[in-house]
Each structure stands twice: as structure tokens, then as C-alpha cells.
Structure 1
Amino acid sequence: MRIGAPVTPKTRLRGAAVAVAACTALTTGLLGTADGAEAPAAAAPDISVDQVKAHLGELQSIAEANDGNRAHGSPGYQASVDYIKGKLDAAGFTTAVQEFQYGGATGYNLVADWPGGGSDEVVMAGAHLDSTDSGPGINDNGTGSAGILEVALAVAEADLQPAKHLRFAWWGAEEYGMVGSGHYVDGLPAEDRSRISAYLNFDMIGSPNPGYFVYDDDPALEGVFKDWFTAKNIPTEIETEGDGRSDHASFKAADIPVGGLFTGASRVKSAEQAEAWGGAAGEPFDSCYHSPCDTTENVDDTALDHNSDAIAHAVWELGS
């Protein structure tokens, strides 16, 4: 996540749950409801936090093999794109790598479309994949990147047939000012922009001293997330620390509805927030923000688990 300006450059339980959801959807589709009403959409599967953490481990290994980072223009960033693309290609997504130039280096966005769904509306989930050059960038933003990757793989495993088209994206050079996402949005024809009914952004979803923050840019999208957390008895707050400083800003500037989740960066957790969420009052949400210590040890598993499940819920609900 890019906080402030200017900025120094930075970066399956599931199988069983999916089977149950798929079986329920099939049975409902065959038998219908007693009064002939339209059957409700299948619930999203539980996303395995262990699988999400496995992706984080791979990103950590990539950084360690490439000067300790995955920054824009670096071999570590290219290897990160290759890793995620390989997973998506094997799962049946249609992937495209979009090139752009920034600071004398080539950057890359990775965009993955799930075949099928309606052609009139697109629901997107995105996260920036680059780190700063000062560390591996595992919370910022391996967590968002790994979370949406695992949700995308759950879509494939469920062979989801949504009413809307689903698209996932991993952005380059966010740490230099949302360069990759800005390039993508600027290149969209007006008709394609108008088809995107929701862009959901996930930038830092596993902070070690976490908060539960929800974007308030679009009331309907905000409600999807807040209702999910309320049902889990998890209080939320409106996200303000990174407001306008992550990739959703590129979409919001183009009048595309945006939403998203965040667990906090360099700001300090208040006593009231610690009472609501646990953790340490008077300490940053992420004391390793933009630092070499932003490794796999710098992630709260519970926050990562909750947020990954909330992403899946939003994709299933908004895509139906």
C-alpha cells in the first residue's frame, strides 16, 4: 500500500466446502423450490488460510532469491507474476499480461478472466503484487495478492457459473503511485469501463496487529462486507488511513464503484480499537510496514482467514 506522497518505492477445508456448495447448487437447480421461486445463490466456500499462507511462502521464497524484494522492475516481481499466472492458467482462467513503462523499467499487470458469466456486467477483485525495494512485501501486499488468488482458485474448483463476468487482477508499480492500475483503467474503452459494476481492492489484509477496516466509497459494496463481518460478530470501522492511496483510486476516478478491505499499516491502534479487536494498543497495525521484516512472520492468521473468506463472500454474492 502506498501511504502518503511522495513515497519511497515499496511492494482447502476448501475441497469439502466446495463440494457441499456445488452439490447444494446442483440439487436446488434440479428440484427447484417448493413454491417455484428462484433458488438462492450458493454460498461461498470457506477459503483455507493454509492455502493462502502457502502462496505467501512462495512469494517469500521468490524475494529471498531476488535481492530480498519483489519491487517494480525487479526479477522478483517478474517471478511473482509468473507464479500467480501459472496457478491461474492451470485452473482454467484466461490470463493476459499487460506491459507498461515506469521509471525506465517495464512493469506488468496480470489480468485473469473466468470463462462464462454474463457479458453485460463485470465484477473485479484486485490487489497490487509489487513490494517496495526494502523488503519482501508479504503483508504489503502479498496478503491481498494471495487472498484473491486463492478465491480465484476456489471459483475454478467450484466451476462457478455466475450471472456476471468475474475478473481478477494483480497490479504492478502500485508503490510508485498506482501506476499499473492507472495504466489499465486509462486504456479501457468507455464501453468496457461502464461494464465494470464493482471493483474490489485488497491491499494488506493480514496485518500483525490487525484492525478490520471497510472502504466506504460505495454504500452497496460497503454493505456487502459490513454485513458479513456483523454476522461473524466482528466490529468494523471505515477505512481512512490509505483512502485514495491504493489501486481502487484509479477505478474511482473513472466513476467505477469501488469497495475493499484493509487491516491497517503504520498508524497506531487506539485503546478502543484494541478493546474491540484485540492486539496491542499504542502500537502500529503493522510495525514492519515498508521494512525488511515484512516477511511471512509479519502476518496475523486470523485476520488473513477472515478477510479471505469475506473476499469469497463478496465475489459469490456480487457475481450472482
Structure 2
Amino acid sequence: MPDRPMLATAAALAAAAALVLPTAALADNTTQAAPRAGVLAVQDHLQELQNIAGAHNGNRASGTPGYQASLDYIKGKLDEAGFTTQVQEFPSLAGTTYNLIADSPGGDANNVVMFGAHLDSVGEGPGINDNGTGSAAILQAALDYAAGGETPTNKLRFAFWGAEEEGLVGSTHYVETLPEADRDKIAAYLNFDMVGSPNAGYFTYDGDDSDGVGAGPGPEGSAQIEKLLNDSLAAAGAPAEGTDFDGRSDYGPFIEVGIPAGGTFTGAEETKSPEQAEKWGGQAGEAFDACYHQSCDTLDNVDTQALERNFAAISNAVTTYAAQFPQP
């Protein structure tokens, strides 16, 4: 997650280029628990990303061998599971780098539900919470769904973004170069950036603007995504709070073109309040992630309970949106 927010314009948020997700159907699967084996596999992926960083100057920043090795690792897993993968090249401050896009082998290509996470770290550290956790979680959710052998109703697309830490460069490139007809086929985009913070909070993007803070609501359909994720986290024992669509992560380019968006977040450099500590546990007056953008953002910096709860919510969202046909 980059330090400076990139705000979406009010006009862009009013765009109506995307499909709307039905409210009633989204709550049907919220009590589904993620398999314990899946959570352990997420931790295995994080260990591999840690090993990659350790072998490449301590980081996995875009444009470096550590980033390339991270992308190769994830691509290999998805290829083996039967996904159709595409490596998208684009320029960044670090030179040429890449996004990785993976589509499910089945599903209606006119109705695409995307799940995304940035794969790059900052140059100062291995980026295991930021954002190995999001990348590993959506990777395993994809692999678990594929292993179930079901053909989705909707096309599932998983995106691993490069150069997010340089200002959302990879996701912006993807959205801006996607033909308008293909943009209109994306029913929803769900973003997962930092889902295992050590002093974890439980936040979902405020799709309906019920908090009345900052940038306003997401495009129509975002409120339903928020509800699904809130219900999943509540079922896991972690009632969520809203967090503003401040444009600070890779949902930004999607909401700017009117695509409904949502996601979960466990906090970065901000301080946990006494009320939040009472509700969620942890230490009031301390950062959600004291190792944010530092060399100590290693596997030891990940709260396994927060990771498990968020992985359950992600897995439930994949299963729900694979089966439920979005309505215009």
C-alpha cells in the first residue's frame, strides 16, 4: 500500500458503466468456513515469498529479481491449477515490470468478478503483510475453488498487481488499457491489501458511505460487496468497521470508471483506538502494523488469526460470486 492517497473524482464515482450485484443473494453463504488446510497453505505461500525476498536483497519490489521470482511462483501455481494466465508488461519508475492476470477456465466472460492484490513490496523490506498476505490469500482462494471442480456461473479473474507501491501503476495501466467493452463486463472488483496486520483491525471499504467520511460511496453495487464481507467477518467473530475509499490501494482505478468495488483491510500505520482494542483485542495507542514499509515486515509480522478470518471472507466471496449471476 503506497503512502499517499490518490483520490477518485466525484464525477468518476457517479459513472454507471458496471453491473449491480443483488443484495439478497450475497448473504447466503456467509457462514461458510474456510478449510483449515487452506489457511495453512496461505502461510506456506507467505513462507515462499519470504524465502524469495531473502534470496533477492531482502525485498520483492517491482522491477527487481525478487518481484519477478514472486510472479513466477504464483503464475506456476495458477497454471498448474488450470487457470489461463497472462503476464501484462508496463513501464514504471523501476523500469519494466508486470501484472499477472488469471482467469478461471469456465464462467461467463461477459460477467467477470475480479479479485486483486498487489504483489510488490517496497524496497525497504520483504513486504509479507504488505502485501504478501493479500496475494497469498487470493491465490489460495483461487486454487481451492479450482480444486472443487465446479464450473463457475461468472468468470473469475484474479489479478496480482505490480508497482502498486509506486502509486497504483499496475492496476491503473490495466484499467486504462482495457477496452471499454471489456471494462463493462467487469461486474465487481474486490481488493485485498494487508489482511494480516499484527495489531489487527477489521475494516471493509465503505461502499454505501454509511460512515459519511471522505470520498463518498463507491459505484452502485459496492454496498452489497461491503455487506457480504461484513457478514463474513462477523460470522468469524470480527465485527468490521468501514474504511474510506480514499484511493490508496488498487480499487482506485476501478471505482474511477464506475466498477463496483470492495475489500478488506487490517490497518497500516494508523493508531488503534481504545474502542477498537476493546472490540478486537490488541494494543490501543499503537499502530495496526508497526513494521509497515520496513525491513521487519516479515512472516513474524503476520497475525495468523486476522489472516484466517480474512481468508474465510475472501474464500466465501469467491464462492458466492462464482455462483451468483450479477444483475444489471
TM-score in same-fold range (> 0.5): yes
**TM-score, with normalisation over the residues of structure 1?**
0.86
Cα contact 2:5–2:247 (8 A) shared by 1: no
Say if 2:291 is the partner of 1:301. no
User: CA distance change for structure 1 residues 72 and 286 in 2, over 3 Å: closer, same or farther?
Assistant: same
Say if 2:266 is the partner of 1:263. yes
Could you tell which deviates more after superposition, 44-53 or 101-110? 44-53
2:205 maps to which residue? Answer: 215
Instruction: Give the secondary structure class of the aligned counterpart of 1:95.
Output: strand
Question: What are the ranges of 5 or more consecutive residues in structure 1 without an aligned counterpart?
Answer: 7-39
1:237 maps to which residue? Answer: 241
Letter in 2 for 1:141: N
Distance (Å, rounded) in 1 between the aligned partners of 2:315 and 2:112: 16
2:154 maps to which residue? Answer: 164
RMSD (Å) for aligned C-alpha atoms: 1.7
Instruction: Give the secondary structure class of the aligned counterpart of 1:169.
Output: strand
**Alpha-carbon deviation of 1:310?**
0.3
Map 1:115-154 onto structure 2 (within 5 A).
115-154=105-144
Instruction: Give the secondary structure class of the aligned counterpart of 1:226.
Output: helix
Map 1:49-198 onto structure 2 (within 5 A).
49-103=39-93, 105-198=95-188
1:284 maps to which residue? Answer: 287
**Alpha-carbon deviation of 1:5?**
5.7
User: CA distance change for structure 1 residues 41 and 207 in 2, over 3 Å: closer, same or farther?
Assistant: closer
Distance (Å, rounded) in 1 between the aligned partners of 2:33 and 2:2: 30
Say if 2:2 is the partner of 1:2. yes
Of 319, 322, 326 in structure 2, the residue corresponding to residue 319 of structure 1 is 322
1:46 maps to which residue? Answer: 35
Cα contact 2:29–2:316 (8 A) shared by 1: no
User: CA distance change for structure 1 residues 165 and 76 in 2, over 3 Å: closer, same or farther?
Assistant: same
Instruction: Give the secondary structure class of the aligned counterpart of 2:117.
Output: strand
1:206 maps to which residue? Answer: 196
State percent identity of aligned pairs.
57
1:254 maps to which residue? Answer: 257
Distance (Å, rounded) in 1 between the aligned partners of 2:144 and 2:224: 24
Cα contact 2:233–2:310 (8 A) shared by 1: no
Instruction: Give the secondary structure class of the aligned counterpart of 2:108.
Output: coil
Letter in 2 for 1:210: A
Question: What are the ranges of 5 or more consecutive residues in structure 2 without an aligned counterpart?
Answer: 7-27, 208-221, 324-328
Instruction: Give the secondary structure class of the aligned counterpart of 1:274.
Output: helix
Letter in 2 for 1:234: A
2:230 maps to which residue? Answer: 226
Structure showing greater Rg: 1
**Alpha-carbon deviation of 1:283?**
0.6
